[in-house]
């Protein structure tokens, strides 16, 4: 059985087809109901029967219907009159006419009046009926879609026209494929002097002719639009207001099938913007010139400004050696601190100015990277020890000893970062770490256990004259230039700097730089300085058996790396007891003894070694005390225990070679500190 596809009715109940049958014959209406039930099958439907013209109008007013069947003859009225009355009242539902006296002329009249179908009662069947219902509903839905689309198109067209007319600063012109104008908005008259009425149907050549644009430029522009799909150009025009600059853009217009159907030209007056940009460029150029002059002056005056401060600090040092009284000593120390602080500020400002002026030149020489790092730590050791801090050097893998780069600028970066770490750390440790990131690149990391930096300030601390908190300058001093200089130097050297920190959790600053390995004797560099016992190939004149006692793994690794290219042998132990046991079993020329160790410290181990030597009447070994805190008290204790001299950690390669040289020329020394 043929059935009608489910249709959403006009009522609030979905998928129920509401049908009105208007017929003054009960028998005919019953037959229609029977045929509809068979033809519609499972399609839910509600059928309402009206027996008269008046009753039908009442039902139409009170209910909504998806489909109507009108008998052509309704007593003294007709179904055609009912259809005309329904349409006059605004009812748009499809209507199928039924008649027992059908003829072609009547059918044509009814169809012209708005009926969707015409059925003869004597030939009515469920199949014919359901076909007519389906056709009526599909036709109605199609018409509804068409009306909605038409309405939307009209609304869109009105909206677009309003938008184009409201584009107060933009002239818009559309053309066909031959560049004949089909539309232009009111702004076109103002910008191009082209009245709307006379513009329609004219060629864009006329516009360019009016604006005195060269014909060759017009032809070239049209060719570019056709080839590339768009073209942007500038038009200069002059009117009573003076010279004007117009920014124009031509592009192709595509239809829904992506076929080219015309072109669109938009024109905007950019005279004011060009004038503003020109003024801004001039102001910026003047500011840049003034800034460069200021930076160049400070950079040129660098030596003259630094020299007096160095002289003042030097005189303070000389005064401190002249055994002044307690009061004078306090004055001198205050002068020294103030002078050093002022010199630090001057150095930061002058270095920053030199960078800003572009007068900073980088060197590219060979230098010893671990030695440079250890020296940087040594410079800050006194300040760290005064605060009770521990400075450590950690190297994650075999260090690149000789590298190429700018050692002075790298030292400046490290001193800035280490100086900040010491300044902002009240207790704990400051660690300088070296690691490789990839061949030819190293990462230098400074970690501390200090006050930390708020997370919201991390993005600002590399800005000039910026510190994490307003109270920082008052409490710790400084210009806020150090980290900015570090960042600019890192970038100038081809690297970068980053930071990780949190309040109360310390800070981590890491500088990643390209420092390629260098040959020990690169042709472009002089031979590295040698200690008296070191030959040109880095070998020592005499082979020594060395015993190291240190509970820090990094120190074992570092000293092994320093001695790797020498003939010396190095034996390691992690505490005093192990060192003593190995010394008794072997024969060692030199013992490097850490003072602070677990189980048995270095002083006790030294006393036991000296006692064993006396008991066994052996040649005394040279014992060097290693300590992170070089105080007079520790020095005295080390000498009393039997050490020959002591060295502050971390020990550098050059200092280690000095110790070896001291062994060969060993004699009573008045100053045991190396």
**Rounded to 5 degrees, what angle do the CA atoms 188, 191, 194 make?**
50
pLDDT digits over 409-426, tens only?
Answer: 888 888 888 888 888 888
If asked whether residues 485 and 606 sit together in one domain, one would say: no
If asked whether residues 506 and 386 sit together in one domain, one would say: yes
pLDDT surpasses 70 at 35: yes
Q: Which residues of 201-234 are buried (b: 16+ CB within 10 A; e: fewer)?
A: eeebeebbeebebeeeebeebbeebeeeeebeee
User: Tell me, what's the pLDDT at 583?
Assistant: 92
What is the residue whose two structure tokens read 């060692």? Answer: 588
Q: Which of 100, 116, 147 is the last residue of a domain?
A: 147
Give the alpha-carbon dihedral of 473, 477, 483, 486, to 10 degrees: 170
Label residue 46 by pLDDT band (50, 70, 90).
confident
User: Tell me, what's the pLDDT at 160?
Assistant: 66
Label residue 580 by pLDDT band (50, 70, 90).
very high
User: Tell me, what's the pLDDT at 518?
Assistant: 81
- Residue 118 maps to which CATH number? 3.40.50.2300
If asked whether residues 579 and 482 sit together in one domain, one would say: no
If asked whether residues 608 and 656 sit together in one domain, one would say: yes
Q: What does residue 159 show for φ and ψ, rounded to 5 degrees?
A: -65, -45
If asked whether residues 508 and 373 sit together in one domain, one would say: yes
Comparing 54-63, 78-87, 268-277, 543-552, which segment has the lowest mean pLDDT?
A: 268-277
pLDDT (average), residues 79-107: 84
Q: Which of 220, 241, 269 is the last residue of a domain?
A: 269
- Coil, helix or strand at residue 89: coil
User: Tell me, what's the pLDDT at 608?
Assistant: 93
Q: Which residue has the higher pLDDT, 477 or 58?
A: 58
User: Tell me, what's the pLDDT at 473?
Assistant: 46
User: Tell me, what's the pLDDT at 543?
Assistant: 81
If asked whether residues 259 and 187 sit together in one domain, one would say: yes
Partners of residue 232 on adjacent β-strands: 249
pLDDT surpasses 90 at 287: no
Choose among 85, 66, 64: nearest CA to 74.
Answer: 85
pLDDT surpasses 90 at 607: yes
Distances (CA, A) of 384 to 377, 427, 649: 9, 9, 13
pLDDT digits over 587-599, tens only?
Answer: 899 999 988 888 8
User: Tell me, what's the pLDDT at 27?
Assistant: 85
pLDDT digits over 620-669, tens only?
Answer: 899 999 876 656 677 788 888 999 888 877 676 777 777 887 776 653 33
The model's pTM: 0.41
**Rounded to 5 degrees, what angle do the CA atoms 86, 92, 94 make?**
95
Residues in the chain: 674
User: Tell me, what's the pLDDT at 525?
Assistant: 44
pLDDT (average), residues 133-139: 86
Q: Which of 495, 514, 533 is the last residue of a domain?
A: 514
User: Tell me, what's the pLDDT at 474?
Assistant: 45
If asked whether residues 375 and 485 sit together in one domain, one would say: yes
If asked whether residues 381 and 464 sit together in one domain, one would say: yes
- Residue 319 maps to which CATH number? 1.10.287.130
Choose among 602, 555, 608, 614: nearest CA to 583.
Answer: 608
What distance in Å separates the CA atoms of residue 517 and residue 369, rounded to the nearest whole number? 10
Range of the domain at 102: 17-147
Q: Which residue has the higher pLDDT, 307 or 579?
A: 579
CA 262 from centroid of its chain's CA atoms: 42
User: Tell me, what's the pLDDT at 611?
Assistant: 93
If asked whether residues 287 and 379 sit together in one domain, one would say: no
User: Tell me, what's the pLDDT at 318?
Assistant: 63
What distance in Å separates the CA atoms of residue 550 and residue 540, rounded to the nearest whole number? 24
Cis peptide, bond prior to residue 6, ω within 30 of zero: no
Comparing 223-232, 327-336, 536-545, which segment has the lowest mean pLDDT?
A: 536-545
pLDDT surpasses 80 at 247: yes
Question: What is the overall mean pLDDT for the chain?
Answer: 77
Tokens (6 digits) for 358: 């572009």
pLDDT surpasses 50 at 533: no
Comparing 27-31, 222-226, 300-304, which segment has the lowest mean pLDDT?
A: 300-304
Tokens (6 digits) for 588: 């060692």
Report how many domains make up the chain.
5
Comparing 203-212, 417-426, 459-468, 501-510, which segment has the lowest mean pLDDT?
A: 459-468
Distances (CA, A) of 122 to 28, 31, 102, 125, 303: 10, 11, 10, 9, 120
User: Tell me, what's the pLDDT at 346?
Assistant: 64
**3-class SS string, 433-476:** EEEEEECCEEEEEEEECCCCCCHHHCCCCCCCCCCCCHHHHHHH
User: Tell me, what's the pLDDT at 489?
Assistant: 86
Comparing 102-111, 342-351, 395-404, 559-568, which segment has the lowest mean pLDDT?
A: 342-351
User: Tell me, what's the pLDDT at 1?
Assistant: 38
Percent share of the chain, pLDDT over 90: 7
pLDDT (average), residues 352-369: 72
If asked whether residues 388 and 314 sit together in one domain, one would say: no
If asked whether residues 292 and 333 sit together in one domain, one would say: yes
pLDDT surpasses 80 at 103: no
User: Tell me, what's the pLDDT at 352?
Assistant: 62
What distance in Å separates the CA atoms of residue 513 and residue 443, rounded to the nearest whole number? 7
């Amino acid at each position: 059985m043929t059935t009608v596809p489910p249709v959403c009715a006009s009522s609030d109940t979905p998928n129920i087809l509401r049908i009105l049958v208007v017929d003054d014959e009960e028998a005919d209406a019953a037959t229609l109901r029977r045929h509809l039930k068979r033809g519609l099958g499972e399609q839910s439907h509600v059928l309402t029967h009206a027996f008269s013209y008046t009753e039908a109008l009442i039902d139409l007013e009170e209910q909504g219907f998806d489909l109507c069947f009108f008998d052509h003859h309704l007593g003294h009225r007709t179904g055609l009159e009912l259809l005309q009355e329904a349409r006059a009242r605004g009812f748009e539902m499809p209507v199928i006419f039924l008649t027992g006296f059908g003829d072609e002329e009547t059918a044509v009249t009814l169809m012209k009046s708005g009926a969707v179908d015409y059925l003869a009662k004597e030939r009515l069947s469920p199949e014919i009926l359901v076909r007519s219902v389906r056709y009526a509903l599909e036709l109605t839905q199609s018409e509804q879609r068409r009306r909605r689309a038409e309405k939307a198109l009209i609304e869109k067209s009105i909206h677009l026209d309003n938008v184009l007319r409201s584009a107060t600063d933009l002239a818009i012109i559309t053309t066909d494929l031959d560049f004949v104008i089909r539309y232009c908005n009111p702004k076109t008259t103002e910008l191009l002097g082209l009245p709307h009425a006379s513009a329609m149907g004219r060629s864009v050549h006329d516009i360019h002719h009016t604006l005195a644009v060269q014909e060759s430029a017009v032809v070239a522009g049209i060719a570019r639009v056709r080839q590339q799909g768009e073209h942007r150009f500038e038009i200069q025009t002059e009117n009573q207001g003076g010279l004007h600059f117009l920014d124009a853009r031509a592009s192709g217009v595509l239809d829904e099938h992506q076929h080219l159907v015309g072109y669109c030209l938009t024109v905007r007056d950019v005279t004011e913007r060009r004038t503003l940009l020109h003024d801004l460029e001039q102001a910026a150029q003047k500011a840049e010139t003034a800034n460069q002059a200021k930076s160049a002056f400070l950079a040129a005056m660098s030596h003259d400004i630094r020299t007096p401060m160095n002289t003042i600090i030097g005189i303070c040092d000389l005064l401190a050696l002249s055994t002044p009284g307690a009061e004078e000593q306090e004055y001198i120390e205050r002068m020294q601190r103030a002078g050093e602080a002022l010199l630090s500020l001057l150095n930061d400002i002058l270095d920053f100015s030199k960078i800003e002026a572009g007068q900073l030149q980088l060197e590219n020489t060979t230098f010893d990277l671990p030695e440079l790092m250890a020296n940087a730590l040594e410079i800050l050791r006194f300040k760290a020890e005064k605060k009770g801090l521990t400075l450590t050097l950690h190297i994650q893998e075999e260090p690149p000893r000789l590298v190429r780069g700018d050692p002075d600028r790298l030292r400046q970066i490290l001193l800035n970062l280490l100086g900040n770490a010491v300044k902002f750390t009240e207790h704990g440790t400051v660690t300088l770490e070296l690691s490789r990131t990839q061949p030819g690149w190293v990462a230098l990391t400074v970690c501390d256990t200090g006050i930390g930096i708020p997370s919201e300030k991390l993005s600002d601390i590399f800005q000039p004259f910026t510190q994490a908190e307003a109270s920082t300058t008052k409490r710790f001093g400084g210009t806020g230039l150090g980290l900015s200089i570090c960042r600019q130097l890192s970038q100038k050297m081809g690297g970068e700097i980053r930071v990780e920190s949190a309040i109360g959790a310390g800070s981590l600053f890491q500088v990643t730089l390209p420092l390629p390995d260098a040959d020990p004797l690169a042709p472009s560099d002089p031979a590295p300085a040698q200690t008296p016992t070191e030959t040109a190939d880095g070998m020592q004149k005499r082979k020594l058996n060395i015993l190291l006692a240190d509970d820090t793994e990094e120190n074992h690794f570092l000293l092994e790396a320093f001695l790797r290219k020498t003939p010396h042998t190095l034996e390691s132990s992690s505490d005093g007891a192990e060192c003593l046991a190995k010394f008794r079993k072997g024969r060692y020329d030199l013992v490097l003894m850490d003072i602070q160790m677990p189980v048995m410290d270095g002083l006790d181990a030294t006393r036991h070694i000296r006692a064993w030597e006396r008991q066994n009447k052996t040649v005394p070994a040279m014992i060097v005390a290693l300590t992170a805190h070089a105080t007079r008290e520790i020095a005295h204790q080390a000498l009393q225990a039997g050490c020959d001299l002591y060295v502050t950690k971390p020990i550098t390669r050059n200092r280690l070679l000095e110790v070896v040289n001291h062994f060969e020329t060993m004699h009573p020394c008045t100053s045991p500190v190396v």
